[in-house]
Structure 1
């Protein structure tokens, strides 16, 4: 299933394509939402080669992101970005549904 409610920035698409290109058997980045973290929910990032039946596929250029349907509920309208600055490199989720987040950028509450 393809869904446009989650988007990828150009920087994220470029970085995802570069990462999966070096990992044999992996062709996508899986993003999921889990309970826990310092603000209630946290994002989890994994490389994967297989989509499941309930995955939503977000594609841009040569990059593919898989999001399970339960995580999509919390991520609707979000943009996945890749930031490279003095503090380091990381994927960041710009989530309009989050009412609070922590300093690490991977934990949020709704």
Structure 2
């Protein structure tokens, strides 16, 4: 039986923003690392940082040449999610539309399953 395919979608807007931020770093080969860890006001919290390494348990997702990497445990909680970048009157921020989340905090940085 084939293994279940897990996916993380990167919106075009998020891909453009990540590419812009990486260009500011002036370090070729950087990717956005998206992690999930325990904590936050709802139980789990998202983490964002740049990385130039792909570890053995990592999964890499790509849109228009922009790469987002996440570890296997985080992908269990992110599976089916979309990473988006939204600009509105309140500001600009990355948002994760996570179908696995049963609740989230007002700031959108933490969630419960």
Name the TM-score class by shorter chain. over 0.9
**1:85 counterpart residue number:** 88
Q: What 5-or-longer segments of structure 2 have no aligned partner? A: none
Structure 2 residue 13 is matched with structure 1 residue 15: no
Alpha-carbon separation, structure 2, partners of 1:63 and 1:95: 20
> Of residues 37, 44, 65 in structure 1, which corresponds to 2:47?
44
Count of aligned residue pairs for this structure pair: 108
Q: Normalising by structure 1, what TM-score?
A: 0.93
- Once the two structures are TM-superposed, the CA of residue 24 in structure 1 deviates from its matched residue by 2.9
**1:27 counterpart residue number:** 30
Post-superposition CA distance 1:5-30 (Å, at most 9, x none): 11001100110111111213351000
Following TM superposition, the consecutive aligned residue runs of length 4 or more in structure 1 with deviations greater than 3 angstroms are none
Structure 1 residue matching 2:55: 3-state secondary structure: coil
> Of residues 48, 64, 69 in structure 2, which corresponds to 1:66?
69
Q: Normalising by structure 2, what TM-score?
A: 0.91
Post-superposition CA distance 1:58-91 (Å, at most 9, x none): 0000211000001000000000000111111111
- Over the aligned positions, Cα root-mean-square deviation in angstroms equals 1.2
Post-superposition CA distance 1:36-65 (Å, at most 9, x none): 000000000001111111110000002110
Larger radius of gyration: 2
Q: What 5-or-longer segments of structure 1 have no aligned partner? A: none
